[in-house]
Chain A
Amino acid sequence: MNSSYTILIPLIPLAVFLLLGIFNQKIKPAVSGYIGVSGLLASAILSFYTAYQYFFVIDKVDGIYQTFVDKTVWMHFTETLHIDMGVLLDPISIMMLIVVSIVSLMAHIYSRGYMKGDEGYTKFFAFLSLFSFSMFGLVLSTNLFQIYIFWELVGVSSYLLIGYYYTKPSAVAAAKKAFIVTRFADLGFLVGILIIGYYTGTYDFEMLNNPEGNAILSWASTSFMGLSVLTWALILIFIGGAGKSAMFPLHIWLPDAMEGPTPVSALIHAATMVVAGVYLVARLFPMYYFVEDGFALNIVAFVGAFSSLFAAIIAITQTDIKRVLAFSTMSQLGYMMLALGVSGYEGHEGVGYMASMFHLFTHAMFKALLFLCAGSVIHAVHSNYLKDMGGLRKYMPITNITFLIAALAIAGVPPFAGFWSKDEILVAAYEHNKLIYLVGVFVAGLTAFYMFRIYFGIFWGKDTKYEHTPHESPISMTFPLMVLALMSIVGGFIPFSEFVTADKAGFEAHLNYPLAAIAVGVGLIGIVLAWIFYKKENNLAEKFANGFGVFYKWAYDKFYFDELYLFVTKKILFKRVSAPAAWFDRNVVDATMNLIGNSTVATSKKIKGLQSGKVQDYAFAFIAGVVIIAIVFIYLWTN
Chain B
Amino acid sequence: MIEGISIYEILTLTSILFFIGVYGFITRKNLISMLISIELILNASVVNFVVINKYLYPDVLQGVFFSIFIIAVAAAETALAISIIINLYRQISSVEVKDTETMKY
Residues of B close to A615: CB separation below 8 A: 34, 97, 100
For residue A608, CB closer than 8 A to chain B, the reply is yes
Give B17 Cβ to nearest chain A Cβ, in Å.
15
Contact A623 B105 (CB under 8 A): no
Contact B104 A616 (CB under 8 A): no
Contact A608 B22 (CB under 8 A): no
Q: Per-residue 0/1 for B91-105: is the Cβ within 8 Å of any A Cβ (1 yes, 0 no)?
A: 000000110111111
- Chain A 597-636 interface residues, beta-carbon cutoff 8 Å to B: 608-609, 611-616, 619-620, 623
For residue B27, CB closer than 8 A to chain A, the reply is yes
Residue in contact with A611 in the complex, picked from B26, B34, B102, B104, CB distance below 8 Å: B104
12 residue pairs of the A-B complex, CB under 8 angstroms, read A609-B105, A612-B101, A613-B100, A613-B103, A614-B98, A615-B100, A616-B25, A616-B27, A616-B34, A620-B26, A623-B22, A623-B26
Which of the four size classes fits the interface of chain B? Answer: 10 to 19
Contact A611 B98 (CB under 8 A): no
- Chain B 59-105 interface residues, beta-carbon cutoff 8 Å to A: 97-98, 100-105
- Give complex CA distance A615, B96 in Å: 12
Give B97 Cβ to nearest chain A Cβ, in Å.
6
Number of A-B pairs, beta carbon distance below 8 Å: 28
- Give complex CA distance A609, B98 in Å: 16
Residue in contact with B101 in the complex, picked from A609, A613, A619, A623, CB distance below 8 Å: A613
In the complex, which residue of chain B has the Cβ closest to the Cβ of A620? B26
Give B27 Cβ to nearest chain A Cβ, in Å.
7
Q: Per-residue 0/1 for B18-56: is the Cβ within 8 Å of any A Cβ (1 yes, 0 no)?
A: 000010011100000010000000000000000000000
Question: Which residue numbers of B lie inside 8 Å of A, CB to CB?
Answer: 22, 25-27, 34, 97-98, 100-105
Give B45 Cβ to nearest chain A Cβ, in Å.
14
Residue in contact with A614 in the complex, picked from B22, B25, B97, B105, CB distance below 8 Å: B97
Contact B26 A614 (CB under 8 A): no
Contact A612 B27 (CB under 8 A): no
Contact B26 A613 (CB under 8 A): no
Residues of B close to A609: CB separation below 8 A: 105
Give B4 Cβ to nearest chain A Cβ, in Å.
30
- Give complex CA distance A619, B103 in Å: 15
Residues of A close to B34: CB separation below 8 A: 615-616
Interface centre among B22, B103, B104 (most CB of A within 10 A): B104
Residues of B close to A620: CB separation below 8 A: 26
In the complex, which residue of chain A has the Cβ closest to the Cβ of B19? A623
- Chain A 567-618 interface residues, beta-carbon cutoff 8 Å to B: 608-609, 611-616
Give B25 Cβ to nearest chain A Cβ, in Å.
6
- 3 tightest A-B CB contacts, nearest first: A613-B104, A613-B101, A611-B105
Residues of A close to B97: CB separation below 8 A: 614-616
A616-B97, A620-B26 given; name 11 further pairs at CB < 8 Å: A611-B104, A612-B104, A613-B101, A613-B104, A614-B97, A614-B98, A615-B34, A616-B25, A616-B26, A619-B25, A619-B26
Contact B102 A613 (CB under 8 A): yes
Give A603 Cβ to nearest chain B Cβ, in Å.
14
- Give complex CA distance A477, B39 in Å: 97
Give A254 Cβ to nearest chain B Cβ, in Å.
63
- Give complex CA distance A619, B25 in Å: 8
In the complex, which residue of chain A has the Cβ closest to the Cβ of B98? A614
Give B72 Cβ to nearest chain A Cβ, in Å.
25
In the complex, which residue of chain A has the Cβ closest to the Cβ of B27? A616
Interface centre among B26, B27, B97, B98 (most CB of A within 10 A): B26
Give B84 Cβ to nearest chain A Cβ, in Å.
12
- Chain A 140-181 interface residues, beta-carbon cutoff 8 Å to B: none
Residues of A close to B100: CB separation below 8 A: 613, 615
- Give complex CA distance A614, B34 in Å: 13
